[in-house]
Amino acid sequence: MPAETNLPTNVEAATPEGLERSRAARAALKQVETEPGAKKPDPIVIADNITRTFGGLTAVDVEHVEIQRGVITALIGPNGAGKTTFFNLLTGFDRPDTGSWSFNGTSLNKVPAYKVARMGMVRTFQLTKVLAKLTVLENMRVGATRQRGESFFSAMFAPLWRAEEEANTEKANHLLERFLLIKKREDFAGELSGGQRKLLEMARALMADPELVMLDEPMAGVNPALKQSLLGHVKSLRDEGRTVLFVEHDMDMVRDISDWVIVMAQGKVIAEGPPDSVMGDQRVIDAYLGAHHDTALTFEEEERILAEAEKELEEEAESND
């Protein structure tokens, strides 16, 4: 398991129970066979026969996949593999053509996105969605679920929701501190840099106290230094006992922090396993680089290709004259 790299994680976030649980969950993963659709000892999400087509294109065609509770699972694959679409399907932002999937044993078929989030499965977006004209603190407060002051009639009577609001503000302050945004508390979210937006989105998702955090390309468009810090934050989520599923297409990022990797290509799950075994998998290399990349070209072959290309160029030049 490569998860014990010394990255700057926020130790305060980790709870003893959380650490214990995630350690046990990771240990349990060792027994899992590394085949697509492998059964996990303690799955939090189970998906079966999920398909989604856009016109003639089958974007997602997943036969069976399970996500282990308490670990960091990475969903990787080349561009256009259907990772984000699969993500949207799981979180209720899109509807699959067929299939069934469940969270903690509850079926999520036809459950709208907002209810999925309330169940404890909160996602972020590839292109960050901060609420630009709200302050950072207000962004955080929106994140809390089941607020009394969010119903129309009690909204008008502040005493009904003031205590709750204070508790949420307290919680938001702690999270902002942890995600290094406390100095930006009163700024508009629209003024934050790209990396800070990623942090804010992650922190905001935590306001809902999710059991499963789903991050859609958390490292996209972030500078290398911040990438390290973001990796630390993702790890800290696991260390406080949450399950993390994240989409990424950069394999190096994945190697550092994930406990389990699921590889998608052309809508299908093609491989699964701990990062090291997946990186060496022939199917994965083929998916990323194209098949037959490793048959080295012989000298004769090279000559032949060169000659062909030259001939083509000449013909083109002639026809242009």
Partner 1 sequence: MDFVSLFGDSIQQAIGPTAIVYALAAIGLNIQFGYTGLLNFGQAAFMAVGGYTMAAFVSTWGLSFWLGIVAGLGLTAVLALLLGIPTLRLRADYLAIVTIAAAEIVRQVVGSVSLKDWFGGQDGLQEFSDTFRSYNPFSDRIEVGTLVAWSANDAWVMLVGWTLVLLCCLMTWLLVRSPWGRVLKSIREDEDAVRSLGKNVYSYKMQSLMLGGMFGALAGFCVALRSAAINPSMFATDVTFFAYTVLLIGGAARVLGPVVGSIIFWFLITFLDLFFSQATNPSSGPLIPPSIMTETQASLMRFIFLGLALMLLMIFRPQGIFGDRKELAIDAR
288 binds partner 1 (CB under 8 A): no
Angle at 172 between CA 166 and CA 176, to 5 degrees: 145
Nearer CB in complex with partner 1: 150/312: 150
Contact indicator for 69, 22 with CB cutoff of 8 Å: no
H helix or E strand, kind and range, residue 275: helix 275-279
Site for partner 1 in 262-281 (CB under 8 A): none
Q: At what angle do helices 16-29 and 224-239 cross, to 10 degrees?
A: 90
Distance from the Cα of residue 228 to its chain's centroid: 16
Task: List the one residue from 113, 180, 182, 226 that touches partner 1 (CB under 8 A).
Answer: 113
**Options 14-22, 155-163, 169-177, 298-306: segment touching partner 1 (CB under 8 A):** 155-163
204 binds partner 1 (CB under 8 A): yes
Task: List the one residue from 23, 64, 118, 178 that touches partner 1 (CB under 8 A).
Answer: 118
Site for partner 1 in 183-202 (CB under 8 A): 188, 190-191
Task: List the one residue from 52, 69, 83, 123 that touches partner 1 (CB under 8 A).
Answer: 123
Nearer CB in complex with partner 1: 201/259: 201
Which token pair is 99?
């299939």
Burial 234-264 (b: 16+ CB within 10 A, else e): bbbbbbbbbbbbbbbbebebbbbbbbbbbbb
141 binds partner 1 (CB under 8 A): yes
Residue 74 neighbours by CB under 8 Å, 6+ apart: 245, 246, 247, 248, 254, 257, 258, 260, 261, 262, 275
Burial 56-80 (b: 16+ CB within 10 A, else e): eeebbbbeebbbbbbbbbbbbbbee
**What is the pattern of x (binds partner 1, CB under 8 A) and - over residues 71-100?**
--------------------x-x-------
Assign 74 to helix, strand or coil: strand
175 binds partner 1 (CB under 8 A): no
Residue 315 neighbours by CB under 8 Å, 6+ apart: none
H helix or E strand, kind and range, residue 66: strand 57-68
- Pick from 91, 99, 92: which is nearest to 58 by CA? 99
Nearer CB in complex with partner 1: 44/140: 140
Nearer CB in complex with partner 1: 53/147: 147
Contact indicator for 215, 40 with CB cutoff of 8 Å: no
Minimum distance from residue 145 beta carbon to partner 1 (Å): 4
Nearer CB in complex with partner 1: 158/306: 158
Residues in the interface with partner 1 (CB under 8 A) total: 43
Give the total residue count for the chain. Answer: 321
205 binds partner 1 (CB under 8 A): yes
156 binds partner 1 (CB under 8 A): yes
125 binds partner 1 (CB under 8 A): yes
Task: List the one residue from 150, 250, 301, 303 that touches partner 1 (CB under 8 A).
Answer: 150
Task: List the one residue from 151, 223, 277, 282 that touches partner 1 (CB under 8 A).
Answer: 151
Binding site for partner 1 (CB under 8 A): 91, 93, 112-115, 117-118, 122-125, 129-134, 138, 141-143, 145-152, 155-158, 161, 165, 188, 190-191, 204-205, 207-208
